[in-house]
Amino acid sequence: MSRQDADVVLVGLGAVGGVIAAELAAAGARVIALEKGAEYSPDQDVRKFDELRYEVRNAITPGMQSDPITWRPDERSVGCPLPWQVGPLSMGPLFLPPSLGVGGGSIHWAAWAFRFREAEFRLATTLEERFGKDILDGTTAVDWPYDYDELEPFYERAEIELGVSGRAGNLNGETQEGGNPFEAPRRSEFPMPPLDPAPTDTPFVAAVKGMGYHPYPAPAAINSEPYRGRSACTYCGFCRDYACHVGAKASTAVTHVPAALATGNLEIRSFARATEVIHDGTGTAQGVRYIDLPSMKEREVHAPLVILSAYALENARLLLASGLNENGQVGRNFITHNFPFLVGTLPEYTNLFVGPAVASSVVDDFTSELVDPAEGVLWGGPIVNFAGDQQPIEAMKMAGAGIPRFGPEFKEWMRQNYRRLFSMWSERASLPRPEYYVDLDPKVRDPFGQPALRITHDWHDSVARDVEFILARMKEIGTEMGATDMWTFPAKPPYHVSTHEVGTHRMGEDPTTSVVDSYGRSHEVANLYVVGGGQMPTYGAYNPTLTIWAMAFRTAEHLAREHGARTAGVAA
């Protein structure tokens, strides 16, 4: 290589990129991170209490004008650019674009920080054991290349370094009182006790206990007490969709990026939009081409190691835009989450606008392999009490059909019901199928002349069946809580982007059926790593980010071992 600007060039300094940059910088490698969004200053966060600006006008998320994504249900249809808010229940909060700026999605996430269950690492085998060999017909589901035990130390590291509050339910195989009795074994207790529960948690816990279920406090990547120099949560209620103004919510913007900068080995190039991996067509990457947005000039960074950590969708788009798809597997195996959601009202005040949504309890009694196969449910999911950060505009978007949306009747409805709302949610992943994938849209381009990503996906009947099952259980719980009204979201919702997309650059040891190895190293280009949820071959029924972080720590340690010492100093 003739030109070398750094030891590593990394694209996307979000949840994954922040962790990897910190590890490599600490190992002595000189890292240049290209980030298409801003490097936010902390004083921006204290001005955040503005629902219109953040929740409705997407102040810190990309818009369709700059980052179009098209969607079609099947190959017979033409992809149309996604509006970000659709449907009778409008589902705004669940129908979100990928994130933007240093910290990525970890800035304004809700901070549910679940581990996956053991069975979710061997989902294909588990389904076959429960339902017989034919159950996987029509899918491309395979087991992960490693199991839960391999990832456990990295889960632990993520919980400690990012800061997760909760209560263990299974310490080294011993069931713990008050925790989740169904969780996979953990080596250590959470670094912090659970958050203070929100008002709706009292009736939720009473109801589910009375029904014989096993509630436990949701694991939250939010400080329940001062932790590692960061403040405890103030229960401000502007949490999901907003940055944390006191740094209590885990974000690489307040944890790993500052640590990486402190080494002197990380250079952040913000407003730098990567367009292409530069490669010689024979298995070696030279660097990354990008547009410097302030000047609109095209530039290049050259380095012996290239890492894409730009989220599952953009990672795939960049590979395809760079002509890196030798085996045709890039973009295949797209999976996303469907969120069964119940909203309703209780007789008492619930004040759902206070505190983070995650200050709540969960039951895992209907999750994955715990549901009786006779129910016909392929994969269940947790039922989570959604307990806070419900500001008025979003609350209105959650209102059921028939509820007035303007005028005096609307005002009266809000007056009577806004402070009495409660809700529950769950997650159900689709299985990877050949007919669901992402590729480059042949017609729609972004303002920089690059093809938009096109998603071909629809909700399979098997997913809808599982969702109906969970919604029915939620209704039973709501009735037990004394609900005065309840409504649910459709089992086949209108959204196909949920910020929980995975599978698009599947990991595996077989280079003909996967894109990267278990560390994220490209099968096609030896010095290129593609890291994040896109590596997951199948999906759990839980929010992905703690698992994505655990995977990123595993990759980061591998990279520091393999490349940190080797490249450090080369470019000095």
Ligand X SMILES: Cc1cc2nc3c(=O)[nH]c(=O)nc-3n(C[C@H](O)[C@H](O)[C@H](O)COP(=O)(O)OP(=O)(O)OC[C@H]3O[C@@H](n4cnc5c(N)ncnc54)[C@H](O)[C@@H]3O)c2cc1C
Q: Which residues bind ligand X (CB under 6 A)?
A: 11-17, 34-37, 96, 98-101, 104-106, 108-112, 240-241, 273-274, 309-311, 314, 499, 532-533, 543-545, 548
When the beta carbons of 248 and 560 are compared against ligand SF4, the nearer one is 248
Kindly state whether residue 556 participates in binding ligand SF4, applying the rule CB under 6 A. no
357 near ligand SF4, rule: CB under 6 A: no
Q: How many CB atoms lie within 10 A of CB 341?
A: 24
Please state, in angstroms and rounded to a whole number, the distance separating the CA atoms of residues 170 and 152: 13
Q: Does 274 bind ligand SF4 (CB under 6 A)?
A: no
Q: Is 86 a binder of ligand SF4 (CB under 6 A)? A: no
Q: Which residues of 135-172 are buried (b: 16+ CB within 10 A; e: fewer)?
A: bbeebbbbbbbeebeebbebbbbbbebbbbbbbbbbee
DSSP string, 106-131: HHH---B-PPPPGGGGGHHHHHHHHH
Structure token digits, residue 390:
């419900």
Residue 220, φ and ψ in degrees, nearest 5: -125, 130
Minimal distance, residue 357 CB to ligand X, in Å = 8
Q: b/e map of 497-519 (b: 16 or more CB within 10 Å)?
A: bbbbbbbbbbbbeeeebbbbbbb
Selection from ligand X, ligand SF4, none that 101 binds (CB < 5 to 8 A by kind) is ligand X
Residues contacting ligand SF4: total by CB under 6 A: 15
Whether residue 36 contacts residue 272, with contact meaning beta carbons closer than 8 Å, is answered with yes
Q: How far is the CB of 534 from ligand SF4 (least distance, A)?
A: 27
Tell me if 377 sits within 8 A of 459, measured CB to CB. no
Q: Which of 60, 18, 98, 567 is nearest to 268 (CA)?
A: 18
61 or 345: CB nearest ligand X = 61
Which of ligand X, ligand SF4, none binds 495 (CB below 5-8 Å, type-dependent)? Answer: none
Contact 198, 217 (CB under 8 A): no
- Of 32-40, 75-83, 207-215, 227-235: span binding ligand SF4 (CB under 6 A): 227-235
Full DSSP string of 327-358? TS-TTTT-B-EE--EEEEE-SS---TTSS-TT
Give the residue, chosen from 27, 107, 123, 244, that forms a contact with ligand SF4 under the rule CB under 6 A.
Answer: 244
Residues 169 and 175 sit within 8 Å (Cβ to Cβ)? yes
C-beta of 360 vs 567, nearer to ligand X: 360
Amino acid (1-letter code) at residue 287: G
Q: Min. distance of Cβ 358 from ligand SF4 in angstroms?
A: 8
- Chosen from ligand X, ligand SF4, none, partner binding at 248 (C-beta under 5 to 8 Å by type): ligand SF4
Shortest separation between residue 387's beta carbon and ligand X, angstroms: 13
Q: Which stretch binds ligand SF4 (CB under 6 A): 176-184, 238-246, 497-505, 526-534?
A: 238-246
Nearer to ligand SF4, 111 or 550 (CB): 111
Report in angstroms how near the CB of residue 52 gets to ligand SF4 at its nearest: 17
Looking at the Cβ atoms of 223 and 345, the one nearer to ligand X is 223
159's CB contacts (< 8 A; 6+ apart) are 113, 190, 191, 219, 546
Q: Is 287 in the site for ligand SF4 (CB under 6 A)?
A: no
> What residues line the site for ligand SF4 (CB under 6 A)?
222, 233-239, 242, 244, 246, 248-249, 355-356
